[in-house]
Amino acid sequence: MKFKGLVLAGIVSTTISCQSVKKDMRVFDQYPVREGELTEMDYSPVETKFSLWSPVADEVRVLLYESGHEGSAYRTIPMKKEKDGTWKATVAEDLNGKFYTFNVKVRGKWLGDTPGIMAKAVGVNGKRGAVLDLNTTDPEGWENDVRPPLNSFADVVVYEMHHRDFSIGSSSGITHKGKFLALTEEDTKSSLGEKTGIDHLKELGVNHVHILPSYDYASVDESQPESNQYNWGYDPLNYNVPDGSYATDPFTPSVRIKEFKQMVQALHKAGIRVVLDVVYNHTFDLANSNFEKTVPGYFYRFDEKGRYANASGCGNETASNRVMMRKYMIQSVLHWVNEYHIDGFRFDLMGIHDIETMNEIRAELDKIDPSIFIYGEGWACNPPKMPHEKLAMKANAHKMPGIAVFCDEMRDGLRGPFYDDKQGAFLNGLPGHEMSIMYGLVGCIPHPQIKNDSVNYSKKAWATQPTQMISYVSCHDDMCLADRIKSTMPEASEAERVALHKLAETFVFTSQGVPFIFTGDEVMRDKKGVHNSYNSPDEINTIEWKQKTTYREVFDYIKDLIAMRKTHPAFRMGNADMVRKHMEFLPVKGSNLIAFVLKDHANGDPWNNIVVAFNSRKEPAKLSVPKGKYTIVCKDGKINPKGLGKVNGAEVVVPAQSALIMHQ
């Protein structure tokens, strides 16, 4: 999404004057770089070592507390400055269970308490760091946890979900509603007997769960767990610790950490990898952010007038191009991989970050496991304060091998533009969107049949491999698919909406890109028409599990699409040269009809000459195909790999508002 709708505090006031900021901008690159790890609290029963990088500080002190949220510090310890701008102090006693903050003095002013920028355990609401041995938070069997096998990024199937949406519903049959532990419960069923929770994911067949921001974010008061607060979480507070609102006990620091690990462990056992949504591009609160209270100005970009820049649309943009911010992002990502066994990352507003940083993150993850998946939004809300050619924008995806980007060309070619909920496109029978969709079907790579001048947003291919393209029609941003169809076709019957819903998802799962589905789209989930539901109540965002029974045919269709894709490698070639060799678009007459053939046993598929056709017209369409005998496997909103019938000849009829798939 291009704007989260967040209203942020502290975007005008700063901890230092504008004149001082301008002066510091000239010397930021001269700051010493901290060597080694950025760990700020290193615990042992004998001693705890504290350290904080703040090269501009006059003084730094660490304060100790008995409580994570109450009372005053019982001890204040001055820290000593080292040559690399890092301040250090050691407490030679067992501090297990205590809490701490740092306070930095710059130009004679104490900036206020902060848990630091790299806190890995915190008290309720994340205001104080917690002294904790992370090894004690490992669930039983954690040392044997392994990520499920993955041969290629072409095999990835992503399911995007929000913890609360997925399990809070009264009909979910889940005990730990809205919590990390919801994804550890097995054999849960809806009030109508349908599988829910992790069993639902297994039944659907996805192999990657993308969880919306689950680090410690600012907008939900963790101390009021029964108040039914809601937010997507795109308002970072502490990047390196799970959010307490999804834990059964937000007051005890170890609980959120252990329960997050239990969630990952359970998903891994189910054969599902975990993707973490990360938001390094901005912070919730600028003036009071941990970054600003540690090294004022350094972690952010500025405009030409010396004001904090705002490419995020949320009041600030971080400076990934600065050495220590880059190092911070890399070490933060590695922490989630090493400590929590995370299998992938989705970068929010990735276009704000610089290409060099993203490539370094890819390189560091490759050292651990090259199958860890990285993708992100290849755009920003406003122009970032860096040259466009250096930014991780969609147009520069070819400069970031191994990193994927969301494809809004096919998305909007199917259902209409992001900026107008009532404007439709191909699904509505409107002409002129075919080439944008074809561009997405090949995975946004160069292809001889794609006329780039007719593509909606990009006039050239931006991916070098199809696995760099995320294929989707809806996500948490914007209307979900069911709402969008209702909004653009208010007079459509339910049968028509169901047919178009299936048609849209067929594009997603037969694209050579990486398919991505928004939680609940498989049961025609709706959000009551709300476009930006980032803080809407549960009645707007919750998955109503009874709809799995109501729209079982939709669920079965998408489940069968996923199974067909996983079984037949022609739909996931994963190589641009193979796509160009084996994927050929067929000539069609008129608009709102698209067809292609995957020829010559593409990618070793036992099916030969697979014809895939999409018709959004309200009447059947005739299609010329290579002459031969075909077995139909998808027709009239049903899928059966064993066959739904036979056709023979050089012409077929594609039913109205549906897809046809057949093979020789």
For 74-88, write each residue's pLDDT tens digit: 999 999 999 899 999
Percent of the chain with pLDDT over 90: 95
Contact assessment for residue 610 and residue 597, using Cβ atoms and an 8 Å cutoff = yes
Give me the pLDDT at residue 163, please.
97
- Within 8 A by CB and 6+ apart from 37, the residues are 331
Secondary-structure percent of the chain, ordered helix, strand, coil, rounded to 5: 30, 20, 50
Sign of the torsion angle spanned by Cα atoms 236, 237, 239, 245: negative
**How many C-beta atoms surround the C-beta of residue 27 within 10 A?**
11
Q: How far apart are CA 148 and CA 207, in angstroms?
A: 9
Structural element, H or E, at residue 227:
none
* Of residues 21 and 357, more confidently modeled: 357
Count Cβ neighbours within 10 Å for each residue of 366-396 and write b for 16 or more, e otherwise.
Answer: eeeeebbbbbbbbbbbeebbbeeebbbbbbb
The arrangement of secondary structure in 153-572, i.e. its CATH architecture, is Alpha-Beta Barrel (3.20)
Contact assessment for residue 391 and residue 326, using Cβ atoms and an 8 Å cutoff = no
Contact assessment for residue 470 and residue 513, using Cβ atoms and an 8 Å cutoff = yes
Residue 152 DSSP code: -
Confidence label for 647 from pLDDT (cuts 50, 70 and 90): very high
Q: How far apart are CA 13 and CA 117, in angstroms?
A: 20
**Domain layout of the chain by residue ranges:** 18-137, 153-572, 582-663
Q: How far apart are CA 417 and CA 408, in angstroms?
A: 9
For 187-214, write each residue's pLDDT tens digit: 999 999 999 999 999 999 999 999 999 9
Two domains, one topology: 18-137 and 153-572: no
Query: Is the predicted pLDDT of residue 243 greater than 90, yes or no?
Result: yes
Residue 642, Cβ density class (10 Å: 0-12 exposed, 13-18 middle, ≥19 buried): exposed
Q: What is the CA radius of gyration of the chain?
A: 26
Count Cβ neighbours within 10 Å for each residue of 70-100 and write b for 16 or more, e otherwise.
Answer: eeebeeeeebeeeeebbbebebeeebeebbb
CATH topology of domain 18-137: Immunoglobulin-like (2.60.40)
**How far is CA 241 from its chain centroid?**
17
Q: What is the mean pLDDT of the chain?
A: 95
> Which residues are known catalytic residues?
348, 377
Joined together, the tokens standing for residue 200 give 């639902």
- Within 8 A by CB and 6+ apart from 228, the residues are 537, 538
Place of tokens 């490992």: 138
Superfamily of segment(s) 582-663 = Golgi alpha-mannosidase II (2.60.40.1180)
Q: Which residues are 189's β-sheet partners?
A: 195
Mean pLDDT of 177-187: 98
Confidence label for 25 from pLDDT (cuts 50, 70 and 90): low
Joined together, the tokens standing for residue 534 give 């980032």
